[in-house]
Amino acid sequence: MSRYIRFVVLLTLLSGLFSTSSFSQRKLYEIGVDSVDILLVDTLYRHNLASNIFDKKVRTVQAAEHLDYVGVSFGLQDLSFIHLRMEDYEQSLNYLFAARRFADYIGDSVYVAIVNRRLGTVYTEMGIHDKGLLYLMQAYDVLSKHQDDFCFDLVKTVRNIGLNHVLRHDYEKAREYFDKSLNLAKACDMHAELGSGYANLSGVNTYFGIYDSVTIYLDRALDIFDENGDTLGLGTVHNNRAEYYMMIGEYEKAVPLYEKAFEYYTLAKEDNFRVSTLKNLAIIYERMGETEMALEYSKRYAKANAMLLSLKLEKTIENMDASFMQKQMRENIENELIISKKESKIKSYQVYLLSSLLVILVIVLIVFLYYRISREKLMIVQLEKEKIAKSNLKNQINFKDRELEGLALNITNKNRFLNDLSVELDALTISSDKDFKGKIRDIKYLISQYLQSDKELADFNKQVELLQQNFLFALTEEFFDLSENEKQLCVLLRLEISSKDIALMRNVSEKSVHMARYRLRKKMKLDSNDNLVEYLKNI
């Protein structure tokens, strides 16, 4: 009996510890479930993360555990900025909306305005200009009332409003806000921000043809960026100066400036700007009549652009992976909370037993009752755990399907890029000399050879056989006369890949895919009203 008493006391203590450790987690759920997803998933799945990013995530989680909601909000904003620099806009917005929930919970309008500024910046970069301007103006209305204490954020907000107007081609408004941001930076003694202000004004004045001020602003920006060691800023200055010379037709002066801008963008690890610089160099050499150099930079641009596209596709697949993890983690947390509540009810019986130790007969009776009730409760908990396991298995199957879609997308986009490049080369052969045409034919031959290579498609087919075993087995059982190509087509259709994309993957015409679908429907004896994709999903 004393052994049982010690067991009850131990369970009571564990119950108290559980309640303490889960308090911060439940508090986060009151603020927003997505916030919990972001914090927990990012710390549990560390793979493919740089150490400094992971450290920021750990500090953000620690702030959440101590209920430091200001620290959580700013930590999430820092993480959003990192993903923005990687052009991972979806994850960047996820962090910002989570940060916005914490800022709203704190109830400080300035903290909300700072988050709105960052939201406006992200939407502007995504090309959703109206939404971006709405968030930026909301931030400006609040921050302008607190200029003395939050001058840095106000300058950033005004400058981003100007950039938003540039992207909307409203250059008059853009110049107005760039002037305002420059004056605010001077008033707040923000020397580093002056460089960005002068660089922005130089770009707008180039559009209006005010060339005298362009060189003055660029010289001022160059001095500031050089003093601060800002490689991205230095790249921007050289790029803007090159665009200026390109606009006025002085191509020889523009070439070395673009090459220098390329070097600075490389140091700053700004891949998009590097690719754009290579494209501009190819255009300049073509205008100068130097076809050899134009072809060389066209090749470099095509190669760099293909690598950039590949990186973006990899990031897309990683984001799909992270989304699956977040969904799975959310379900696990919610289910664990449900189970914990049921388990706490069981533990309440133990407290009652401790208060009934005076009468041995009553203790025996209560222990007997407790045993039966606990057993029933534990059976219920076990059944729920089995349901969770089945749910997790279903999620894993869905994730494998998305993985196949990602592989198919990679093959499709690669073939689409090569086809587009081939069309562009066809256009160049119209007005080029014979040697240039010969080199272009060589490039087109290499492209056709690469399109005909089936290594990636073979790898994809291996993945299909591995991940779609159950479906292929059931399909073969019902339709034993299907060829291997028809089985592969069934898998692609089941994954909801369009006929156009299937044609690109297999390097065949779209008409051939339609004919294959028609023959497939005929073998399966489907009516014209039957949906082939839905039918395959139900097999």
Name the residue ranges covered by the structural domains of the chain: 190-288, 308-453, 465-539
Tokens read off for 325: 């993890």
> CB–CB of 291/432 below 8 Å?
yes
> What pLDDT does 167 receive?
86
Q: What is the pLDDT of residue 263?
A: 92
Q: From first to last of its 539 residues, what are the pLDDT tens digits of the chain?
A: 444 444 443 334 334 333 333 444 444 444 444 444 444 444 443 444 455 566 776 677 677 667 788 888 888 888 888 778 777 788 889 889 988 988 888 888 999 999 999 999 999 989 899 999 999 999 999 999 998 888 889 999 999 999 899 888 888 898 899 889 888 888 888 877 888 888 888 877 777 777 677 888 888 888 888 888 889 889 988 998 898 888 888 999 999 999 999 999 888 888 888 888 999 998 999 999 898 998 998 888 888 888 877 766 666 565 555 555 555 655 665 566 566 556 656 666 665 556 666 678 778 778 777 888 878 787 887 887 777 767 666 656 665 666 666 666 666 767 776 776 777 667 666 655 666 777 777 777 766 666 555 566 666 667 666 667 888 888 888 888 898 889 888 988 888 888 888 888 877 889 999 999 999 999 999 888 889 989 988 88
| CATH number among 3.40.50.1370, 3.40.50.10490, 3.90.76.10, 1.25.40.10, domain 190-288 | 1.25.40.10
| C-beta of residue 235 within 8 angstroms of C-beta of residue 261 | yes
Domain 465-539 sits in CATH 1.10.10.10: yes
Residue 501: predicted pLDDT: 86
List C-alpha distances in Å: 441 to 422, 457, 510: 10, 26, 25
- Residues 224, 198: contact at Cβ < 8 Å? yes
Q: How far apart are CA 304 and CA 296, in angstroms?
A: 12
Q: Whose CA is closest to 165, among 115, 214, 201?
A: 201
Answer yes or no: are the C-beta atoms of 251 and 245 closer than 8 Å: yes
* pLDDT at residue number 349: 61
Residue among 89, 203, 96 at smallest CA distance from 139: 96
Nearest to 214, CA basis, from 251, 245, 259, 193: 245
Q: Compute the Cα dihedral for 18, 21, 23, 29 and give only its sign.
A: negative
Residue 392, burial from CB neighbour count under 10 angstroms (0-12, 13-18, 19+): middle
CA dist 153 and 32 (Å) reads 26
pTM: 0.49
How many CB atoms are closer than 10 A to CB 52?
Answer: 9
* Distance, CA of 475 to CA of 19 (rounded, Å): 51
